[in-house]
C-alpha cells in the first residue's frame, strides 16, 4: 500500500500515524519506508552563470567551495525567471530492525531519525544542498523551500557536505519527480512561494503542503540483522512468555493471534522463522503450513509447530504437512530457543 501524509520529515510520519490511532507495534511491523519530498525550481541551463560569495553565514558550513555555485540570469527560454523546470529533493527512510524497534518502542522522532541516518538516510536539507552544489539550483531556492537545520550537530554528525560530492545520488530525485510532480502545486514563478510561506517563522519548513510521502520497496538491511521470528499462538499469555524469552536472546519477535493474520504477517514481514501453534482461530496450523509449503516464497521457511501433549498423531501429521520441527506443549523456554537456533543454523548453511 502506498499512502501520502503531510509532515515535516520522513520520521515524523510515524508520529502522524500514531496520532491518527494506529498502534506503534503495527506501524513498526507494516512500514517499509517513507520518502519525504519537496520540489525546487531548477536553474535554466541556457542562462545560468557562475556566482561567487553569496552564501549566508549561517549555512556556510555546507558550502566550503563557493566557486561552483550558479545563479539564474533570465532569458527567453525561461521567461526571464532564471529557472526552468523543477527537481525533487528527498529524504528516504528505510525501515530496518533498529528503526522498527524504536518505532515499536514509541521512541521520539529524533531517535527514529538517528537510527535511519546511521544506515545512510540523507536529510531533505542535505539533498537540497547537493543540488545546489551541483549547480542545478540556487541557495535562494534552497532557503525558500527548506529551513536550514538549527542544530549543527544534528546534521554534521553524519558528514553532510563532503558526502554530497561523492554519494552519487542524482538518479534518485528523478524517480520521485516523475511520480509525484504532476500532483504538486506548480512552482514555475516566483509568485507561488509567497502563498506557501507563512508569515511567521516556524521551526518547521515553510512549504508544509507540498510534500508527499510514499512507501517504497522493502530492501534488506545491509548490516547483519537480528533474526526475525513470528510467533503464531492464540493464547496471549503463552505468546508473551515466548516473546520475552526470544527477545532476550536478541531475536526480533512479531506476533499473530490466528492463522489468517499469520499468513498476512509472513507476507509482510518475511520472518526468518515461524513458531506455529496448531490450534488457531480462523485457520489452524495445518492450514497455515499447507499455504506456506504451496508457495515458492515460503516453501523453505523454517516452521516449528507447537503440538498438544498426548496427541501423537499430530506429531506425525505436522511433518507430512511440512513442519521443520515440533515441540509438545508444555515446553521449556530453552527447548524452544535451542530448536530455533538449530533451524536457523541449518538454514544459514544451506543458503547459497
Ligand atoms: Zn534562462
Mean pLDDT of the chain: 78
The pLDDT value recorded for residue 352 is 58
Q: How far is the CA of 190 from the centre of ligand 1 (A)?
A: 14
| Nearest residue to 82 via CA among 133, 139, 143, 121 | 139
Statement: 12-214 belongs to CATH 3.40.50.720: no
Instruction: Express each pLDDT in 123-135 by its tens digit.
Output: 999 999 999 988 8
Rounded to whole angstroms, the Cα distance separating 87 from 84 reads 10
When pLDDT is cut at 50, 70 and 90, the band that residue 226 belongs to is confident
The pLDDT value recorded for residue 330 is 82
- 197 pLDDT higher than 90: no
Q: How far is the CA of 164 from the centre of ligand 1 (A)?
A: 26
- Average pLDDT over every residue of 225-244: 90
- Average pLDDT over every residue of 108-120: 92
Q: How far is the CA of 142 from the centre of ligand 1 (A)?
A: 19
Strand 325-328: give its sheet, edge to edge: 252-256, 228-232, 273-277, 303-307, 325-328
CB 255 within 8 A of CB 231: yes
- 219 pLDDT higher than 50: no
Rounded to whole angstroms, the Cα distance separating 26 from 323 reads 27
Q: How far is the CA of 130 from the centre of ligand 1 (A)?
A: 21
Q: How many CB atoms lie within 10 A of CB 352?
A: 2
Burial class (CB in 10 A: 0-12, 13-18, 19+), 300: middle
Q: How far is the CA of 50 from the centre of ligand 1 (A)?
A: 14
CB 277 within 8 A of CB 232: yes
The pLDDT value recorded for residue 150 is 75
Decide if 12-214 and 228-350 have a common fold: yes
CB 235 within 8 A of CB 281: no
Cell numbers linked to 25:
507495534
Q: How far is the CA of 79 from the centre of ligand 1 (A)?
A: 7
- 6 pLDDT higher than 90: no
The pLDDT value recorded for residue 68 is 73
Higher pLDDT: 175 or 14? It is 14
| Nearest residue to 116 via CA among 38, 35, 62 | 35
The pLDDT value recorded for residue 66 is 61
Q: What is the chain's length?
A: 352
Rounded to whole angstroms, the Cα distance separating 72 from 61 reads 23
Instruction: Express each pLDDT in 45-93 by its tens digit.
Output: 999 998 876 788 888 888 877 657 888 999 999 999 999 999 999 999 9
Strands 33-43 and 83-94: antiparallel
**What are the residue boundaries of the structural domains of the chain, listed by start?**
12-214, 228-350
Q: How far is the CA of 194 from the centre of ligand 1 (A)?
A: 22
Q: How far is the CA of 81 from the centre of ligand 1 (A)?
A: 7
Instruction: Express each pLDDT in 133-191 by its tens digit.
Output: 888 999 999 999 998 887 555 444 443 333 333 333 333 333 333 333 333 333 344 44
Q: Looking up cell 502522524, which residue turns up?
A: 16
Strands 49-50 and 70-71: antiparallel
Q: Looking up cell 527512510, which residue turns up?
A: 93
Give the environment of ion ligand 1: residues with CB less than 5 A. 44, 46-47, 75, 77-78
Q: How far is the CA of 301 from the centre of ligand 1 (A)?
A: 58
Q: How far is the CA of 330 from the centre of ligand 1 (A)?
A: 76
Residue 344 backbone phi and psi in degrees, to 5 = -70, -35
Q: How many CB atoms lie within 10 A of CB 227?
A: 20
- Average pLDDT over every residue of 106-119: 92
Rounded to whole angstroms, the Cα distance separating 257 from 239 reads 9
Q: How far is the CA of 43 from the centre of ligand 1 (A)?
A: 8
The pLDDT value recorded for residue 85 is 93
Q: How far is the CA of 46 from the centre of ligand 1 (A)?
A: 5
Q: How far is the CA of 131 from the centre of ligand 1 (A)?
A: 18
Rounded to whole angstroms, the Cα distance separating 255 from 260 reads 12
Q: Which CATH number fits domain 228-350: 3.40.50.2300, 3.90.1150.140, 3.40.50.2000, 3.20.20.60?
A: 3.40.50.2300
List residues bridging with 39 in a β-sheet: 88
Please tell me which of 195-209, 255-269, 328-342 the model is most confident about, judged by mean pLDDT. 255-269
Instruction: Express each pLDDT in 290-312 by its tens digit.
Output: 989 988 889 999 999 998 867 77
List residues bridging with 214 in a β-sheet: 35
- 208 pLDDT higher than 50: no
The pLDDT value recorded for residue 91 is 94
SS3 annotation, 56-113: CHHHHHHCCCHHHCEECCCCHHHCCCCEEEEEEEEEEEECCHHHHHHHHCCCCHHHHH
Instruction: Express each pLDDT in 248-288 by its tens digit.
Output: 888 999 999 999 999 999 988 899 999 999 989 888 999 99
Q: How far is the CA of 52 from the centre of ligand 1 (A)?
A: 19
Q: How far is the CA of 135 from the centre of ligand 1 (A)?
A: 14
Q: How far is the CA of 174 from the centre of ligand 1 (A)?
A: 21
Q: How far is the CA of 276 from the centre of ligand 1 (A)?
A: 65
Q: How far is the CA of 121 from the centre of ligand 1 (A)?
A: 34
Burial class (CB in 10 A: 0-12, 13-18, 19+), 337: middle
- 31 pLDDT higher than 50: yes
Amino acid at each position: 500500500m502506498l499512502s501520502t501524509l503531510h509532515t515535516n520529515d520522513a520520521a515524523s510520519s510515524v508520529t502522524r500515524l500514531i496520532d491518527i490511532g494506529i498502534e506503534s507495534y503495527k506501524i513498526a511491523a507494516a512500514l517499509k519506508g517513507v520518502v519525504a519530498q519537496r520540489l525546487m525550481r531548477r536553474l535554466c541551463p541556457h542562462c545560468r552563470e557562475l556566482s561567487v560569495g553569496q552564501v549566508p553565514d549561517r549555512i556556510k558550513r555546507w558550502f566550503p567551495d563557493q566557486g561552483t555555485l550558479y545563479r539564474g540570469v533570465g532569458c527567453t527560454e525561461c521567461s526571464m525567471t532564471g529557472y526552468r523546470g523543477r527537481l525533487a529533493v528527498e529524504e528516504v527512510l528505510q525501515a530496518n530492525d533498529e528503526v522498527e524497534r524504536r518505532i515499536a518502542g514509541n521512541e521520539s522522532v529524533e531517535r527514529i531519525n538517528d537510527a535511519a541516518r546511521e544506515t545512510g538516510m540523507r536529510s531533505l536539507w542535505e539533498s537540497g544542498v547537493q543540488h545546489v552544489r551541483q549547480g542545478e539550483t540556487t541557495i535562494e531556492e534552497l532557503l525558500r523551500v527548506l529551513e536550514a537545520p538549527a542544530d549543527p550537530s544534528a546534521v554534521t554528525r553524519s558528514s553532510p557536505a563532503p558526502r554530497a560530492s561523492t554519494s552519487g545520488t542524482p538518479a534518485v530525485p528523478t524517480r520521485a519527480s516523475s511520480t509525484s510532480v504532476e500532483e504538486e502545486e506548480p512552482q514555475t514563478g516566483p509568485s507561488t512561494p509567497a502563498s506557501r510561506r507563512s508569515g511567521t517563522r516556524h521551526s518547521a519548513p515553510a512549504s508544509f503542503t507540498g510534500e508527499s510521502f510514499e512507501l517504497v520497496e522493502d530492501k534488506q538491511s545491509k548490516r547483519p540483522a537480528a533474526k526475525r521470528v513470528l510467533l503464531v499462538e492464540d493464547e496471549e499469555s503463552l505468546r508473551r512468555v515466548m516473546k520475552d524469552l526470544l527477545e532476550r536472546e536478541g531475536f526480533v519477535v512479531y506476533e499473530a493471534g490466528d492463522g489468517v493474520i499469520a499468513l498476512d504477517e509472513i507476507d509482510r514481514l518475511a520472518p526468518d522463522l515461524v513458531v506455529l501453534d496448531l490450534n488457531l482461530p480462523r485457520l489452524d496450523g495445518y492450514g497455515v503450513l499447507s499455504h506456506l509449503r504451496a508457495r515458492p516464497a515460503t516453501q523453505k521457511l523454517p516452521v516449528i509447530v507447537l503440538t498438544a501433549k498426548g496427541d501423537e498423531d499430530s506429531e506425525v501429521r505436522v511433518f507430512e504437512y511440512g513442519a521443520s520441527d515440533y515441540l509438545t506443549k508444555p515446553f521449556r523456554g530453552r527447548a524452544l530457543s535451542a530448536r530455533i537456533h538449530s533451524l536457523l543454523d541449518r538454514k544459514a548453511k544451506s543458503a547459497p
